[in-house]
Amino acid sequence: MEAHGIPTSLIITEPFAPIVSSFAPTVGMDQYTGTVMVPHRVATTDNEGLRELAKSIVEKVNDRLTI
């Protein structure tokens, strides 16, 4: 979608950053510009922890999605 001018935000955990970086060229991009990094182990985070995590990145995600 970024390649077509549609703002995106890719939320990933830290260990996946190298995979994401290496994948970008396969879709014709030098890099993803809307990536937001969060700490690893989101799957084991309780609901309150996920709410806090979301609150901590919502502004960053919004900035990447706002034209």
pLDDT tens string 6-15: 888 889 999 9
Mean pLDDT, to the nearest integer, of 2-23?
88
Do residues 6 and 31 touch, judged by C-beta distance below 8 A? no
Mean pLDDT, to the nearest integer, of 10-27?
89
- The pLDDT tens digits for 36-49 are 999 998 999 999 99
The total of other beta-carbon atoms located within 10 Å of residue 22's CB is 9
Q: What is the pLDDT of residue 67?
A: 67
pTM, 2 dp: 0.76
Residue 3: is its pLDDT beyond 80?
no
Residue spans of the domains in the chain: they are: 2-65
The total of other beta-carbon atoms located within 10 Å of residue 28's CB is 8
